[in-house]
Every structure is written in C-alpha cells, then in structure tokens.
Structure 1
Amino acid sequence: MRITTKLFHGPNIYANVPIVLITIKVLSAQPEVLIETCKEIEKLLPNYVDENISKILTPYTHFGMLMSNFAFNLINKNKGLLTSYGAKESSDAILSWVEFDTPEVTLKAIELFFNIFLPLLQKKQLSSAAIDQAIVNYAEFAKKYSNYDYELLSGSKSLDIPSFKFMTNSLYRQYGWGKNSRVFRGSSPMEDSYHGVFVSMDKVASKELLKSIGMPVVKDVVIQSREQLQKAAETIGYPCVVKPIRGAQAIGISVNILSFDELQNAFDHAKQSSFGNNPIMIEENINGYAHRIHVVRGKFFVSIKKMPPILIGNGISTIQSLIEEINIQRMDVRKNPDSLKQIQINDELIVYLKKFHLTLQSILSDNQEFQLSTTFTYGVHGASIENTTNITHPDIIHMAEAIAKVTHIDMLAIDYITSDISKSFHEIKSAICEYNHTPGLGSLKVLGASLYTPLEVARTFIGDEVGRIPIFLVLVENSHLGKIDTWFINNIKESSVGYMCGDKVAVGRFVLNTYESQGWDSAKMLL
C-alpha cells in the first residue's frame, strides 16, 4: 500500500474548504481482506466510526471513506469543527480527503488510522489498551493546536461567517472578509488596548489601577523572600491568600491560610509554580464564592458563580472513591478544558484534606457534605458553575463596565469574590480578585445551550457587522489576461477594491508582493 498526501488550502474540486487529500494505491490487498479489516476497525473503534458507512460503497471506497470518517470524528472529538470528508475511486487509486483547520492535526489523525489499520491488515495483534493509549496520545498532541476560540468558531459557522488563520501557525483568527472582518486571539480582539492587556497580566499593577478608580479590592503585601513572611502575616492577618503576581488558572494560589506553618507551605508552593520566579502577593482572605463576570464590547454580558465540588458521604465509600465516581460522571466533558473538569487527586488535595484531619481513605458518614477545596477557580479543581446574571446587583454591573471602559479591553473577564452577588459591595464585604483579557468561553456552553448557544456567543462577541464582502469571478482565456490586467489598472483606482489577475494581486493601484504564492493564498491577502 502506497500512501501520499497533498494539501489544498482553499476551495478545490473535492470540497469548498481546505483539505488534506490522501492518495492510496492498494498494491496487493484483495477486496475481501480490506473489507474484513475495515469491519474489525469498526468493532474496535465504534465511537470514531459512523454506523452504516459501507452500505452502498465498493470495498475500496469503503476503505477510503472509513479512513476519512475516522480522522474526521477523531478531530471533532478533540475540539475540532470540521464539516467535510469523503472518498472516491480513481482509475488506479483511492482518493480520500479530510478537512483541516490546522494541517498537523489532520495529518496526525490520518497517521493514527494507518498505524492501527496496517498491522490489522497484516494480521498482527493490537491490544485495546494500545489503541486507547494511541488515542490519548493523539488528544495530547491536538491540545498543542487546540481551538482556544472554539465557541466563537463554532458560532461563526452557524452564522455563515467565513474564518481562517490570520497568520500561519498562530492563534490569531480572522472572522469575515476585508472591511467586514475582525481578528481575534482566542476571545481577545485586536481592538484590545495593548496597555490595558499589559497591566492585566500583572496582579500588582492591575490592583493599583483598580484602587486608583475606586474599585473594591482587598488589602495586600508583596514580598520577595520567606524571611518577609512574618511581617506580611502581621500586616494582613489570618485567614489570608498567597499567589504569584503573574499567572493564570489559579496556578500556585493557596487560599484560606490559617496559620504561619500553612503560610510557609503556601509561599513555597507559589514559588515552585511556573510563575514562582516573580514576587509573591499575600492578600486578605474574603469568604464567599468567586463569580466570573464577562463584559463584552463595554456591556455587561453574564456573571457565573463558581462553586467547589461537594462530596456527599454514604458511610461506605472513601473520599477517593467518591471523587472517582464524580469524575466518571464528567467523562463526557473531559475533552473540553473549559467545562466541568476532572477533580484532581494530587498533593495539593492531600494537604487540604489534612486541614480537616482527613485522608483519601477517610469515609464520610451517610449524607455528610464536604466541600473540596476553597480555591476559587473552577478550572483547576473541577468546580461546578451557576448562572447568576439575572440577580447581579446594579452596582456590580456598573463596576464591571467601568473597568472595561478604563482598561479599553473589549472582552473582559473579572473575578469577583462575594457571598451574595445580589448585594452591593457597599452592603457586604466583597472584592475584585483580578481581571483578565482573553477569557475562556467554555463555561458559557456548560450553563446550558438554551441560554448561551455558540451562535449567541459568536453574535455577541464577534458582532453583527462581521461577514462577507462582494466577490466576482471573471473567466477568460489565458491569451486575454493581459487585456484584463490593463482594464483593471485603468479602471480600479480605489483602495477599497482589490483584484487578482494571473499571478498579480493588487488593492487599487497598490500591487502586493505575493512571495510566489498562488490561488487561495493570494486571495487571502486581499480578504
């Protein structure tokens, strides 16, 4: 079997989307052997192969369709948003194709299929464990190229808004064409202020900004070394919070610290985190739940309450068993890093349990409730979430919109700690923990499709002004290209009109350097 691949970066004779074309020359395998192996694949991988895929196909087309269908489903189960795949026979080969957003991800899925299929074709044994591990390894590989703009991209497809990578191998994506387009990095548009974003990444600077405009924040001390802990504890008091001044996803953060021993351990934990080379902030601890407040294009959009998971004992199961039961229930959303995550069983959890004189092998009494962790991020510890948009106090809404206005961040997320978001920070002790640009949007999907569908998220975040521009195709014989080019030069003078003619690309009278690119790559320059 001889296998070659070719990339089509734009509309082509097989599909109107970018594809990987796989040409398969079957040199020796008999049709019945191919079909037997295909059926074995279908039994081994029922979650990655659609049912009845072979109903009206010849043996060779069945094989080609199985390959492309497997790759298609594998990618989409790992936050892909592909819409096209297929297969057909040519005179001497099987032609299969699979859409790609990132070529490496589709090529890796195709490679995985053949790594499973070819040994089976040769009657070699492959264990289910080996296949499962290969799929897990693929998922880890795909994460490197993950669509952090998954919700926007999904919604844009529903709205028929075209999109493509703004730059090769980057996280920047353009939605729409030409003057009707916007460019995002994840959920952050290019309109975001550089200075606003820069300040948001520094917890000390961002807190100073919040203080300067009269927003509610907690008392803090910034220290460099362990020797400064005692004075910091005297200044802040207990309980307190320890965090690196730079970071994300609550990495290195410890909360509800009640003693100096715990404070020392928390300082070491923060220093050992990936952000630990920076100074460490010691903050006053506020009791309550964290609420993620989204402000979109200057307007309050949603508030989400994040609640650490709660174990309910039965008098029989250990804490570890109860956690494992919850994690099994969450298996369906494991592929979405912004959804209900797995509860991590790690050293941090063990230390937390010790505070309550518990271990992983402790047994909670029947109906006894135990809250796992007080860390306020839902991502790290697998917390659940609740929509609190309709009960958010007007003062909090005004606060959020004011921060967005001052920072000039178009897509802003604010982490706000309060025991009751329906009450103003003037009524009960509450505070802003931090604010961020490029917020994850997966939690909006978890709240319920009826409230925040990808289409609704995209319409809100991208905006109604984004879409297509008029495009006209003129077909002429090659001998007339010169005349057409001359006509374009004489008649297209406005910088709002672009054209391609042969290997020439221009906007008005300004000719672009195409760097030997052609076809779709040249068209993207104009769009």
Structure 2
Amino acid sequence: MASGSSPAGFHHGLSQPDQALTIRLAHCPAGADWTPVDHWLSAKLGLPIQPRSGSGGSTDDAAETIWRILQLAAELQRAARLPVFEPGRVLSRMPDESMPGAWLFTVAVPQLDHMPAPSLHAVYNAATALILGLAGDPASFAEPERLYAEVESQVLQPLRQALPLGKSSIHLLRTAHELDMPWRHLGNGLFQLGWGRHSHRVRHSKSESDSSLGVDAAQHKYVAAEWLRQFGLPAPTHTLLAEEGQAMQAAAAIGWPVVVKPADRDRGEGVTVGVESEESLRAAFQHASRFSKQVLVERMVPGTCHRLLVVRGRVLYAVRRHPIGVEGDGRSTIAERIQVANARRMALPAWNRPPPYPADDLARQELDRAGLTLDSILAPGAWAPLRRIESTDWGGVDEDFSTTLHPDNAAIAIQAAELFGLDIAGVDIISPDITHPWHENGAVINEVNSSPLLGASQSSLDSLPALMARLVPGDGRIPIEAVAGGDDALRVARARQRYWADRGLACYVASHALTEDPSGHAVPMAAQGLFARCTALLMNKHVDAIVMAVQTDELLETGLPVDRLNRVERVAGKVAAWNAGAITQAAGETEKTLALLLAHSSPLHSRA
C-alpha cells in the first residue's frame, strides 16, 4: 500500500469518490439469454440485477455484459465488507482494434481511499470472468460450492486483508449512504461521517468521543462490575481467578450453580453457564483459560440476557437474546427441522451463511435438559434449544422488547453507558422479565460493550437511522461553494465568505495557493493545492462553510473533494494550467473545469 497517498476525488457524478478503469472484453456473448444468468446471480449470490438505465428494453450484448460486471464487482466488494454502494457507470466504449469482436470499456467505479489498486483490479477481473462464464454456459454453475471456495480464497480474503474493516462499518456506512450523508475512509478502518463542524469519526461501532479509560474498564468484566457496583448499579457477584485450584473455593463461597467466563473477552467466547459440579467446573475453567489468563467464577443469575443499545443517552432498541434453536411444525422431528434450517442456510452464498444449526453432544444435552431428543416432534410454534446461551460462534434468535422495556431498566442502561463515557454502548442485562423493574426481580447488568456489533439483527438494522441522527446533525453537510475564473475569483470568494459570516457561519476560503480563516487571516498548511486544502478543511470541526476559489484546472486531475456544491459562480478570466502539482504559464482548461463544477452543483444556485 502506498504511503501518503492522496484521497480520491469526485469526477463522474457518483455519490462516492471514483476512478476510471478500462475493462477489456475479449468476446461478448452474441444473443445471450440473460434470464438464467440473472436468476443465478439472484439465487446463488443474492444479487438482484437492476435494469440498465437508458436501455429502453433494447438488446446490446456488450452493454448488458459490462453492466452485470459492474454490479457483480460491487457486490463482491460488499461481501468483503467494503462499503461500495453503487456499481458505477460506463463512460465510453470502443472496439479493440487488436482483436476482432473485442471491446474496450472505460468505466467510472467507486474508489475507497487506501485501497491498493491491484486488489481493486482483481475484483473486476474476477467479476468479468464470472459473468462471461455464466453467459456462455449458465448450467455449468448449477452447483456453486467450488466457486464459492474460489471466490472466498482468491477475491474476498485478499480484499479483507488489503482493507480490514469491522462488521459494523458497512451497516453504518450503508445507512449514511441512504441518508445522503457524506463519509470518507481515513485509513485503518476509521471513517469520517459528515463535513467540518458536523463531522464525526467512527471505527467499527466506536465513537471518537468515547472515553479511552471507560473503554478499557468496560472490556474487563471484573473491573466493569466494580465500577457498576460503586456507582450503585446492579452487577454480578464473582471472583477473579488465575489458577484452576482456586475455582472450587470460589464456587463454594459464591453458591452453586455458577457461570465461568474469561475476564476480558466478549461475544460469549469461552463462557459456560449452569456449572453445578467439581468436574464440570474444571472443564469450564479450562475452556475459559483458552481465551484469557484471567477467569471469572460468577454467581448464576436467573433469567435471560437482553441487549440494550444505548446511543448518547437514549435506548434505541432492546432484544431478548435466545440461544440458537429450531421451531416445530407438528410433523417433523427436531433432527429433520435442523436439516431443513441448515438447507436454507446452505442456499446462501458461503460468505453470508450464519453458523450451522448444531446436532452435536452439546445440542443433545440442551434438548435433554428440556425433556426432548433429536427424535422429538415439536408442536407448531414450540422451540427446541440447541445451546444454553447465545454467542457469536453459535448464533441465536433475537426477540424485540423495545416497546415493552421497563423504564427503570432503560434508565440503568443509560447510566451504565454514561458511567463508562460511551457514545455507543451495548448494555447486557440478565433479567427474568425485562418488562419489570430490575430492583424487583434481581436483574443485573452483565456487561457493558464499548463496541457492540451493529446490523446483526433486524432490530439493530432498524435502529441505525436513529443512531446516525444522534451522532451527526442532519445530513452532516455544510455549505460548499466554488468561484471559478481568473484573479477576480479570490475577490468574489472573499465576498461570499462575508455573506456566510453575516449569517453566523465560520466560513473559510481555499484556493490552490492559500487558505484563509473567517477573519481573513492566512492559515499555514502543509497541504498543497486546492483539493488538499479543501480536504483538510472538511476534517476541521471549526469549519461551518467553505468557498473554493478555483483559479487553476487542478480539479480536472484530482476530481472534486466533495460530491456536491451548493453554488457555482463564474467570474472573468481563464483558469491557469495545473500540471502534476505545479502551475504553468499556459492557459488551463477553463470550460472543462467549469463543466465539472456545474455537473456537481445545484442548478438553482449556479451562475455560469
């Protein structure tokens, strides 16, 4: 990965920064029947093909081929958790004179900052090969498991290694995209939402304003429980151990049954519940020790774990977290229901499959605890548990209690998030009944998660617009204008700066050579050029508005730093030529520069 690389710009009207690629189609399937191809893409990859805009139902084999390549390449990037939400567009096409029947397409596609070019090219090469193969012989892809394995090893894994992003990021950024909120990758999985004063930075589901001390405390269950208790909130009773020999004494003091868990892991890793004997305690301790050097032996609290998502002082949803299980139909055995459930999951692309429904010894133990076996037939609507608890490794089922959550339980979740200084917190409450107050039924706050997984359930997905609204004002945008032309461009830009100042906004002016603050003072910057100076201002939380004085044709090379301009004004004079970061004596591309600005502006507020 190149160090110090410049952010990507907006060139071709996409809502994401873009770049131009050339895709060579060595051949196009003449008279292809796209119906089975599209059916396969939808059924096997979960990719419903959108109609080609402007086609009017006409047939064009080359255009139909490239359109599917673009959609598939975007889907493969999303499968690798990369936030690519539009396929791009065709800019031009021409016959390849070196080979009869071949075509060269120039396409504009989304570009993520810090994505190595070879990784991006590999995606489009893979998408091209797959679409051509499907169009030539769709029947040969009827059994896709081998293809899934090849895509996983040759495309998705290299993409994740090139740009490792958390599972929450793509859901957050998809919500921002749907809300028309600008965002940008700042590197290492850190994203900025919005611009200037309205900007907010997140990584996975961590917020830039989270307390680092609180995050550290929340990640250690023993410390977190001590904080909760001292703050007057209900917390588990437990003992922190480093040696197995101490476990029996701890369990006897606490009282059976107990829970054994690693002290500093989450997602249910290494947890054993319902431990009631010395033999099972030793096994549980050894299991937890594989995840951490410190192990907790904890009094088991009656009830079920509930996850409450708290964002800046408000509970956005509450769900009861049931362990993975199968629902009866009154006819089939539990073993048959497991087979049906796993068949549904196997129909999904390999990278989208949840963990399989188990029929192992642990599942038999849980069924036995419920008075069932794999041969039992459940009544319709009845559930058979296959694990004791929900976890990331095993999966589970969420039952929404957002509308029936007792206010007292919501209150302690909010207090817990505030105690640890967390903007976004997943507060887990173990309660027999979350609709009743904690102080009446012995419920406790089991964990406070500083980086809760977002988008893993429908309740979580539904909460994301409200989450974004609490982090970023409105759509996160600030006014950004451009004044293009010769020497007068800077003078007019300063006049527009005063216009915004009269309205109480801290407006900055940027040109290729200078940056000025709202008082008209020069702001020294290491950044050179209009694009870099404007990008720097977009990261500055003191900036309420920006006016760009466009006096060179630099933006033809870099693209715009934003996807949209509120206003464009042309003044007298031609822009100067900008060549590889330097101004030359030659006249620049004035009309092309103006056209680029106008293509990204509001037509109601532009003066050409």
> What interval of TM-score do these two structures reach, taking the shorter chain for normalisation?
0.7 to 0.9
How is 1:207-286 mapped onto 2 (pairs within 5 angstroms)? Answer: 207-272=225-290, 275-276=291-292, 278-286=293-301
Q: Name which of 385, 393, 404 aligns with 1:371.
A: 385
Assess, with a 3 A threshold, how the Cα gap between structure 1 residues 142 and 310 changes in structure 2: closer, same or farther: same
CA RMSD in angstroms comes to 4.0
For 1:422 and 1:228, locate their aligned partners in 2 and report how far apart those are by CA, in whole Å. 38
Assess, with a 3 A threshold, how the Cα gap between structure 1 residues 473 and 504 changes in structure 2: closer, same or farther: same
Superposition deviation, residue 496 in structure 1: 4.1
Number of aligned pairs?
Answer: 497
Match in the other structure for 1:353: 364
Is 1:473 equivalent to 2:489 in the alignment?
A: no
How is 1:421-460 mapped onto 2 (pairs within 5 angstroms)? Answer: 421-443=434-456, 446-447=458-459, 452=462, 454-459=464-469
Is 1:500 equivalent to 2:503 in the alignment?
A: no
Residue pair 1:88, 1:96 contacting (<8 A) in 2 also: yes
For 1:13 and 1:412, locate their aligned partners in 2 and report how far apart those are by CA, in whole Å. 39
Assess, with a 3 A threshold, how the Cα gap between structure 1 residues 464 and 8 changes in structure 2: closer, same or farther: closer
Counterpart of 1:18 in structure 2: which amino acid?
A: P
Q: TM (normalized to structure 2)?
A: 0.71
For 1:19 and 1:57, locate their aligned partners in 2 and report how far apart those are by CA, in whole Å. 28
- Provide, for residues 408-460 of structure 1, a one-character-per-residue CA deviation record: whole Å limited to 9, x for no partner: 212122111011112223221221111011222225x51398xx36433422x
Match in the other structure for 2:125: 111
Assess, with a 3 A threshold, how the Cα gap between structure 1 residues 44 and 308 changes in structure 2: closer, same or farther: closer
Match in the other structure for 1:4: none
How is 1:50-449 mapped onto 2 (pairs within 5 angstroms)? Answer: 50=49, 53=52, 55-56=57-58, 58-76=60-78, 80-91=83-94, 93-101=104-112, 103=115, 107-116=121-130, 128-129=143-144, 130-137=146-153, 138-139=155-156, 144-146=164-166, 148-165=168-185, 167-168=186-187, 170-272=188-290, 275-276=291-292, 278-312=293-327, 319-329=334-344, 341-345=354-358, 350-351=361-362, 353-354=364-365, 362-367=374-379, 369-377=383-391, 379-443=392-456, 446-447=458-459
Residue pair 2:301, 2:443 contacting (<8 A) in 1 also: yes
For 2:317 and 2:329, locate their aligned partners in 1 and report how far apart those are by CA, in whole Å. 36
For 1:295 and 1:151, locate their aligned partners in 2 and report how far apart those are by CA, in whole Å. 17
Residue pair 2:257, 2:275 contacting (<8 A) in 1 also: yes
Residue pair 1:162, 1:175 contacting (<8 A) in 2 also: yes
Assess, with a 3 A threshold, how the Cα gap between structure 1 residues 332 and 526 changes in structure 2: closer, same or farther: farther
- Provide, for residues 166-191 of structure 1, a one-character-per-residue CA deviation record: whole Å limited to 9, x for no partner: x22x2221111101211122332211
Superposition deviation, residue 213 in structure 1: 1.2
Assess, with a 3 A threshold, how the Cα gap between structure 1 residues 16 and 207 changes in structure 2: closer, same or farther: closer
Assess, with a 3 A threshold, how the Cα gap between structure 1 residues 334 and 442 changes in structure 2: closer, same or farther: farther
Moved more, 67-76 or 285-294: 67-76
- Provide, for residues 198-239 of structure 1, a one-character-per-residue CA deviation record: whole Å limited to 9, x for no partner: 111111111110111121122211111222222122222321
For 1:424 and 1:41, locate their aligned partners in 2 and report how far apart those are by CA, in whole Å. 55
Assess, with a 3 A threshold, how the Cα gap between structure 1 residues 229 and 8 changes in structure 2: closer, same or farther: closer
Query: What SS does the corresponding residue of 1:45 show, helix, strand or coil?
Result: helix
Superposition deviation, residue 389 in structure 1: 2.5
Residue pair 1:151, 1:457 contacting (<8 A) in 2 also: no
Counterpart of 1:372 in structure 2: which amino acid?
A: L
Counterpart of 2:509 in structure 1: which amino acid?
A: Y
- Provide, for residues 242-292 of structure 1, a one-character-per-residue CA deviation record: whole Å limited to 9, x for no partner: 1111112111111111221111111111122xx32x210110111211111
Q: TM (normalized to structure 1)?
A: 0.80
Superposition deviation, residue 473 in structure 1: 0.7
Residue pair 1:315, 1:364 contacting (<8 A) in 2 also: no
Assess, with a 3 A threshold, how the Cα gap between structure 1 residues 182 and 314 changes in structure 2: closer, same or farther: closer
- Provide, for residues 388-407 of structure 1, a one-character-per-residue CA deviation record: whole Å limited to 9, x for no partner: 22322232222222222322
Moved more, 71-80 or 237-246: 71-80
Residue pair 1:241, 1:283 contacting (<8 A) in 2 also: yes
Residue pair 1:416, 1:430 contacting (<8 A) in 2 also: yes
For 2:198 and 2:91, locate their aligned partners in 1 and report how far apart those are by CA, in whole Å. 37
For 1:402 and 1:174, locate their aligned partners in 2 and report how far apart those are by CA, in whole Å. 27
Assess, with a 3 A threshold, how the Cα gap between structure 1 residues 290 and 498 changes in structure 2: closer, same or farther: same
Query: What SS does the corresponding residue of 2:428 show, helix, strand or coil?
Result: strand
Superposition deviation, residue 115 in structure 1: 3.9
Match in the other structure for 1:3: none
Runs of 4+ with >6 A deviation: 37-40, 118-126, 331-337, 358-361, 485-489
Residue pair 1:68, 1:97 contacting (<8 A) in 2 also: no
Is 1:45 equivalent to 2:41 in the alignment?
A: yes
Assess, with a 3 A threshold, how the Cα gap between structure 1 residues 107 and 172 changes in structure 2: closer, same or farther: same
Assess, with a 3 A threshold, how the Cα gap between structure 1 residues 488 and 344 changes in structure 2: closer, same or farther: same
For 1:426 and 1:42, locate their aligned partners in 2 and report how far apart those are by CA, in whole Å. 56
Counterpart of 1:384 in structure 2: which amino acid?
A: V
Assess, with a 3 A threshold, how the Cα gap between structure 1 residues 195 and 256 changes in structure 2: closer, same or farther: same
For 1:396 and 1:242, locate their aligned partners in 2 and report how far apart those are by CA, in whole Å. 25
For 1:441 and 1:177, locate their aligned partners in 2 and report how far apart those are by CA, in whole Å. 23
Counterpart of 1:89 in structure 2: which amino acid?
A: S
For 1:511 and 1:223, locate their aligned partners in 2 and report how far apart those are by CA, in whole Å. 55
For 2:125 and 2:331, locate their aligned partners in 1 and report how far apart those are by CA, in whole Å. 46
Residue pair 2:33, 2:135 contacting (<8 A) in 1 also: yes
For 2:427 and 2:180, locate their aligned partners in 1 and report how far apart those are by CA, in whole Å. 31
Assess, with a 3 A threshold, how the Cα gap between structure 1 residues 159 and 236 changes in structure 2: closer, same or farther: same
Assess, with a 3 A threshold, how the Cα gap between structure 1 residues 109 and 412 changes in structure 2: closer, same or farther: same
Query: What SS does the corresponding residue of 2:425 show, helix, strand or coil?
Result: strand
Residue pair 2:313, 2:414 contacting (<8 A) in 1 also: yes
For 2:478 and 2:327, locate their aligned partners in 1 and report how far apart those are by CA, in whole Å. 56
Query: What SS does the corresponding residue of 1:427 show, helix, strand or coil?
Result: helix
Structure 1's unaligned 5+ residue stretches are 1-6
Counterpart of 1:94 in structure 2: which amino acid?
A: F
Match in the other structure for 2:20: 21
Residue pair 2:21, 2:108 contacting (<8 A) in 1 also: yes
- Provide, for residues 37-78 of structure 1, a one-character-per-residue CA deviation record: whole Å limited to 9, x for no partner: 988855753554626547436443333323212213444566
Q: Name which of 471, 493, 509 aligns with 1:462.
A: 471
- Provide, for residues 71-121 of structure 1, a one-character-per-residue CA deviation record: whole Å limited to 9, x for no partner: 134445665451341214345631123224464675443132134356789
For 1:193 and 1:21, locate their aligned partners in 2 and report how far apart those are by CA, in whole Å. 41
Residue pair 2:358, 2:386 contacting (<8 A) in 1 also: no
Residue pair 1:294, 1:414 contacting (<8 A) in 2 also: yes
For 2:427 and 2:361, locate their aligned partners in 1 and report how far apart those are by CA, in whole Å. 30
For 1:251 and 1:512, locate their aligned partners in 2 and report how far apart those are by CA, in whole Å. 47
Residue pair 1:316, 1:363 contacting (<8 A) in 2 also: no
